[in-house]
Amino acid sequence: MEVILREDVPSLGKAGQIVKVKPGYARNFLFPKNLAYEATDGNRKRIAAEQAAHAAKRAAERGEAEAFATRLGAATVTITAKAGDEGKLFGSIGGNDIAAALAKMGHAVDKRRIDLEHPIKSVGEYTVPLKLHAEVTARIKVTVQPA
């Protein structure tokens, strides 16, 4: 039986691809989970329309992410924390702290979008990447000052 995949299915194919599967696999797994359609002429047109709509939606989301990235690029976040004499912090600055500081500045960013390799543990200036979209990454300056 030939089916048209609606979404990427591991070890089977990518969205929009026409694949040949056993009828039981299609009826019992792919069709109930809305992962595929039967390969008919009407469904081929339907998939083409869905892919066009998804492409337009992804382009709009990317445009919004790029606009937000340009606004964030000019932002400098200043965080004060308790530090010792040598500039080492008594705690650490993580994604939660940076997200809270950005929220105070009026930029709502989810803490999971902040791509810190390691928490910040000393005073200084850091460049922190923010993953706003699959293809858009913004970089902000974070300045950590002793309290």
In the block, residue with structure tokens 């293809």: 135
Predicted confidence at residue 46, as pLDDT, reads: 87
Compute φ and ψ for 22, nearest 5 degrees: -75, 145
**Among residues 45, 62, 79, which one ends one of the domains?**
62
Residues 51 and 72 placed together within one structural domain of the fold: no
Looking at residue 121, its pLDDT comes to 95
Do 54 and 35 lie in one domain? The reply is: yes
- Split into its structural domains, the chain has a count of 2
* pLDDT score of 47: 85
- Greatest alpha-carbon span in the chain: 73
Question: pLDDT per position in the chain (147 positions), as tens?
Answer: 999 998 899 999 998 899 999 999 999 999 999 999 999 999 889 888 988 998 999 999 999 999 999 999 888 999 999 999 999 999 999 999 999 999 999 999 999 999 999 999 999 999 999 999 989 999 999 999 998
What is the CATH number for 41?
3.40.5.10
* Domain interval for residue 44: 2-62
Q: How many CB atoms lie within 10 A of CB 132?
A: 21
- Domain boundary pick from 28, 62, 96: 62
44 and 76 share one domain: no
Q: Do 106 and 141 fall within a single domain?
A: yes
pLDDT value for 50: 85
Q: 81 and 123 share a domain?
A: yes
- CATH code where residue 83 lies: 3.10.430.100
pLDDT reported for residue 51: 85
Domain stops at, among 19, 34, 62:
62
The pLDDT assigned to 3 comes to: 95
> How far is residue 23's CA from residue 13's CA, in Å, rounded to a whole number?
17
How much is the pLDDT for 16?
A: 87
Q: Are 65 and 98 in contact (CB under 8 A)?
A: no
* Rounded Cα–Cα distance for residues 85 and 82 (Å): 10
Residue among 100, 132, 128 nearest 115 (CA): 128
Which pTM value belongs to this model?
Answer: 0.70
Is residue 74 located within the same domain as residue 139?
A: yes
Query: Does 118 lie in the same domain as 89?
Result: yes
Q: What span, in angstroms and rounded, lies between the C-alpha atoms of 132 and 62?
A: 9
